[in-house]
Structure 1
Amino acid sequence: METSGSDELPVDIVYNILSRMPIKSLARFQCVSKVWCKYINDTYFETMHNAKRGAMKVDPTMLMMFQLDLYPYASSSLTMLVTNEGEKSATTHEEVVIATKNPPPYMEFGCKDWGPRFILEDIILGSCKGLIFSSQDNNVDDRSTVLLVINPLKRKCYKLPPIKIWSCTSSAFQEREACGLGYDDSTNTYKMVCVVLRNQDKIRSYDHDDDDVVKEDLCTVVHDVVLGGTANSSSSSSSWRKIPALPAYPISGEAVFANGCLHWLVSILLEYWPSNAVGKVVCFDLTKEEFGLIDPRNTLIRMGREHLVDLDGQVGLVYDDISTRHTSCIEVWLLNHETKCWVLHCRFDRKPPLRHNTFIKVIGYWNKDAGDLLITDTTCRRRLFIYRLKQGVLHEANFIYQGYLATTTNIRLYQPTFSSILRRSINNR
């Protein structure tokens, strides 16, 4: 029987043991020896691990807090959060206590100071299969941006080549383009996709239902992200490549990656919003590198704000209705991947502890099996709420943080994945 080398254990036994380990442990085990690192980065082991862990409890979802500090320079920090649930509170609901691990922070990285922002309110611009991304530098002269891909499990950052992805009009940033990080299973490649304006200084009004006018200023570029090297290193893929595919409409907001596709909402910043674009979602197939359209949910469009959210691998759409002051409600819909139709997950009224004059943001599933949701207030990201689907109740979590809290704070859910810990080149093109 073949042995594993210096450890003198049969290879099949080592594979069997490692395949039952959590992903966070495997990330550390790669440092044990060259032999173990070789095993963990073997494509056979990846298949074996997925099969074994699929029958067991998956790695727990972690809560992470990102903060942006502008002094003395723009810098962000990542702090891991821990939760404690089960004690009864005075309101008879289970009390959820969320606190920081000691000592914070877990990781620090450079981050762009956007200045006064209307929609660009997040430090983290998106995520995919164990990686997240932000923006680090801003060249004022040519308005270029350096996107930063972050691997929290390894505490590493990878810089992408500079690209112009934002337009600036007068003194305020306007979101005219969008980007998203996805994973192409056919080539085991992470891809950053950006839809940009060819002419960054040209702001035009779009005519009703005129797709050609919308498309003529848009350009789609893709960067194949190669993970490797040391912390804060550049991606080894040297440039962005232009592809012929274009979305039917400008897109905006955070992209959600699910079922091999990136999903964006049609931009709400069109000066004249075509009637046939209201509520639609633009999708991008990472393997075919083609865009598509998903029809809106079959409900009356009212006054409110929408955003997409990753609900454990499903595309969720959150509609926050503020059409009236006292009867506003919040709806959460799920996209059926097969039928491309929206299914209502839950609907609940806005009432205390939620405020009437602010929008909410659904962060993700607090408990997937029960369908419970983790929610935050867009004006105060340090207020966290749990919506209990089966009980139909919403209550505020007890957030405990000792230390300095920056003005800009984001709370994110993080699920470790096998592809995020690999040391082999994941670009097989």
Structure 2
Amino acid sequence: MLTWFNRDYTNKRKFRLRRRRKHTNLTDLPLDILVNILARLPVKSLYRIRRLSKILKNIVDDQSFVTLHTQLLTATNAVAEVPQLILTNNIGVTSFAAVQLFEYDGNSSLEKNKHAVVSQIGLTVNPWSNRQFVFCNLFFFTVENLSKYGSPYAVLFDPFKGEVLPLPMIDVQDPKECYGVYGMGFDHLTSTHKIIRVAVNTHNNMEAQVLVLGTSSWRKIPSVPPYLLSTSTSLLSANGDMHWLIHLVDEFSSKTESCIISFDFKKEEFYCTPHPIQSTRNMHLFILSGCMAFMAITGTQVEIWILKNYERKEWTREHAIDLLVHGRTLEDYSRIAGCGQWEHGIFFLDSRRNALFFDVRCDSIKDVTYPVLCPRPRSPVVNIVPSIHSCTPGLISLKHYGNVIDQEQMLFGVNNIWNPASSNGL
């Protein structure tokens, strides 16, 4: 790792040590020890450290270091990242999305992050564009089911850098007869990022394809999910794998059971992950303290379970929030559309443009109304749907995986800049 300047670093280190017999700096450490220390630091700290010296900047910016940091970030909770709150507005008909960082003030409102700017992305004028998932610092958007626009396409969007990476076009026989469910993860054997797509036609026949980020084509794999992923209520990437929480309805008893379908990017296989409890009420998956977490309502409690031991699939109940103690009712949680982690606890979203923020420090719950991001002037505003996401910062740069497009270009629609002749490449 970092062999391109390993020898130069060693020689300069010896020279510095000869000059400073009494005082030493961080860069006086052997390179392997220094890299090991840096790889366990959160992204926010790394961005500060890289400004201290050219040597540290070269280490942090090196792609092999980025890969090592991503391995620790996705495989374990060794990298203590404080999640950031991302507010998004999706305007349906224009397929326009605005993204901005916010901070919770501990009271009843979200405040704009003083360092944040609004990132905006426009896909194409149709009602079938949607955000599928968030992976570290990347948002994934797709356009499906529109035969007049040709094959379905997808993009990765980094709102922090304002970069968009169009992915290779997807070879589908008849786009209007098919839709796709996507996921993204990290293959620790090959140190590559991969995207999985499960295509389903009107007869519920499934086909799975994998794209290695940075390559030019999708590859069909033999494994398919044991159940349709279209019933998924929440999805996330954890421990390098992708996970979907789906609901199964028994045709005879009409009873509903939940199941977690996972995809192993190393083996490129689907499998079932057991979850801690069955509940007929609201259930969601989210990331808590770097681990996959499961939320369910049982009786008058909101239970939060964490999969701390991923290899053994052992769940631990982390919180049991008593609704009666906090003056809440089940109705307050009946409309929950998702949940996530903030700096000092967990937030729960509902469908009324507000959220409930649970503070673990003082065991309190507060109602929070979040603002609507204003789109650009003259942008038609139809069906604004705001939402909050818990985003984990990452060092991933889309520039390493293809020709990125500036978000300014995307505001005019991806079809205006897409080159059909290059559908097999980036």
Q: Same fold (TM over 0.5)?
A: yes
Question: 1:64 pairs with 73, 80, 86, which one?
Answer: 86
CA distance in 2, matches of 1:284, 1:275: 28
Q: With a CA cutoff of 8 Å and minimum separation of 6, indicate the structure with the bigger relative contact order.
A: 2
Question: 1:396 pairs with 367, 370, 373, which one?
Answer: 367
Show the counterpart of 1:240. 218
Show the counterpart of 1:383. 354
Deviation at 1:23, TM superposition (A): 2.9
Show the counterpart of 2:347. 374
Show the counterpart of 1:218. 206
| Structure 1 letter corresponding to 2:160 | L
Structure 1 residues 273, 167: closer, same or farther in 2, change over 3 A?
Answer: farther
TM-score (norm 2): 0.67
- The CA deviation string for residues 178-224 of structure 1, in whole angstroms up to 9 with x for no partner, is 22111112222111111222xx2325xxxxxxxxxxxxx22111111
CA distance in 1, matches of 2:228, 2:199: 9
- The CA deviation string for residues 216-265 of structure 1, in whole angstroms up to 9 with x for no partner, is x2211111112xxxxxxxxxx22110011122222243432222321112
- The CA deviation string for residues 295-318 of structure 1, in whole angstroms up to 9 with x for no partner, is 34344x43x243322223322222
Query: Is 2:247–2:258's contact at 8 Å kept on the other side of the alignment?
Result: no
* Structure 1: runs of 5 or more not aligned: 86-94, 170-174, 204-216, 227-236, 322-326
Whether 1:184 and 2:187 are equivalent positions in the alignment is yes
Structure 1 residues 347, 276: closer, same or farther in 2, change over 3 A?
Answer: same
* Secondary structure of residue in 1 paired with 2:258: coil
| Structure 2 letter corresponding to 1:224 | V
Question: 1:23 pairs with 31, 43, 47, which one?
Answer: 43
Show the counterpart of 2:313. 340
Show the counterpart of 2:416. none
| Structure 1 letter corresponding to 2:366 | H
Show the counterpart of 1:414. 391
Query: Is 2:287–2:293's contact at 8 Å kept on the other side of the alignment?
Result: yes
CA distance in 1, matches of 2:142, 2:179: 16
Query: Is 1:184–1:260's contact at 8 Å kept on the other side of the alignment?
Result: yes
Show the counterpart of 1:157. 164
Deviation at 1:408, TM superposition (A): 0.9
Show the counterpart of 2:98. 77
Query: Is 1:183–1:191's contact at 8 Å kept on the other side of the alignment?
Result: yes
Question: 1:294 pairs with 265, 273, 281, which one?
Answer: 273
Query: Is 1:137–1:146's contact at 8 Å kept on the other side of the alignment?
Result: yes
Query: Is 2:96–2:120's contact at 8 Å kept on the other side of the alignment?
Result: yes
Query: Is 2:246–2:258's contact at 8 Å kept on the other side of the alignment?
Result: yes
Query: Is 1:264–1:282's contact at 8 Å kept on the other side of the alignment?
Result: yes
Show the counterpart of 2:264. 285
Structure 1 residues 282, 50: closer, same or farther in 2, change over 3 A?
Answer: closer
* Secondary structure of residue in 2 paired with 1:339: coil
TM-score (norm 1): 0.67
- Equivalent residue pairs, number: 363
Query: Is 2:164–2:398's contact at 8 Å kept on the other side of the alignment?
Result: no
Q: Which moved more, 1:289-298 or 1:36-45?
A: 36-45
Query: Is 1:62–1:80's contact at 8 Å kept on the other side of the alignment?
Result: yes
| Structure 1 letter corresponding to 2:224 | L
Show the counterpart of 1:266. 246
CA distance in 1, matches of 2:138, 2:398: 12
Show the counterpart of 2:302. 330
Structure 1 residues 12, 130: closer, same or farther in 2, change over 3 A?
Answer: same
CA distance in 1, matches of 2:255, 2:270: 17
CA distance in 1, matches of 2:114, 2:173: 37
RMSD: 4.7
Deviation at 1:131, TM superposition (A): 2.4
Structure 1 residues 362, 296: closer, same or farther in 2, change over 3 A?
Answer: same
* Secondary structure of residue in 2 paired with 1:43: helix
Question: Which structure has the highest helix share of the two?
Answer: 2
Query: Is 2:46–2:60's contact at 8 Å kept on the other side of the alignment?
Result: no
Structure 1 residues 195, 39: closer, same or farther in 2, change over 3 A?
Answer: closer
Deviation at 1:76, TM superposition (A): 1.0
Question: 1:363 pairs with 304, 315, 339, which one?
Answer: 339
Q: Percent identity?
A: 19
Note the 1:162-173 alignment, pairs <5 A: 162-163=169-170
Show the counterpart of 1:255. 235
